[in-house]
Amino acid sequence: MACTNKFNWAYVNCDEVGSSAADGAAHGATGSVQFLTGSGNTTGSANLMFYTASVSDYTPMTMILSGAMRITGSLHVTGAIVANSLDIVNTTITEIQQNGSSRFGDSADDTHVFTGSLVVKQASVDVLSASNDNNRVFVRAFGGMYTNVGVASYTASAESYIIGVSQTGNVSLLLPTASACGSGSMLIIKDEVGTRAGSIGITASSGDAIDGEANYQMTGSMVAISMYSNGVNWFIY
């Protein structure tokens, strides 16, 4: 390849192209992105590919990088970045904006930790806020899990919060263990029957207690009870 430089333009003659890495020709896998080598020539790698047509799961006009690349400066991407991991080293992310829904994690055992305060807004109104200054959480409105009990015997789960009993006659409710619910968990039980001929019997799990007792009887009609757990037992409040 012979090149001359006159008047700020270059003439490239490819008649002398050979097969070695030093002949001035482009080398590497078909579709590979070319980069400059130390000898002043270009080559490519199968680890850095640009597909102009569909290949496997890759759509046209997709660049695939299998390995490491160092970029000094800004990277502007029109489209999606798909990666197994994204590590931000010694850098503070000031703002992330995305249209549509976002999903964090892909399994139930994933844990996502946020350091600082969290605010969820609807327009200019705070719907939910968690302050790192006073360790308090505020919600504009709150709704807990509701479970309707229409059977004579029911075992509550650790996820239970509001239990409405619509079954007539005598009803037996077994509480989840306080340890499974954890300290600070709350449970509300409400009789939804206008005139009850019987009672709602609440029984603590084996080893637990309700205000020091193994059982508690709710009598009358349309009565309710609120309880909290300290992680060991249940207490009425």
User: Phi/psi of residue 10, each to 5°?
Assistant: -125, 140
Instruction: Give the closest residue to 67 by CA, choosing from 37, 44, 90.
Output: 44
pLDDT of residue 72: 86
Give 144-157 pLDDT, tens digit per residue: 999 999 999 999 99
Q: What is the dotted CATH code of the domain comprising 146-236?
A: 2.60.120
Confidence of residue 158 (pLDDT cuts 50, 70, 90): very high
CB 226 within 8 A of CB 188: yes
- How far is it, in rounded angstroms, from Cα 187 to Cα 220? 20
- How far is it, in rounded angstroms, from Cα 20 to Cα 12? 18
Mean pLDDT of 158-176: 97
Residue ranges of the chain that CATH labels 2.60.120: 146-236
| 3-class SS of residue 180 | helix
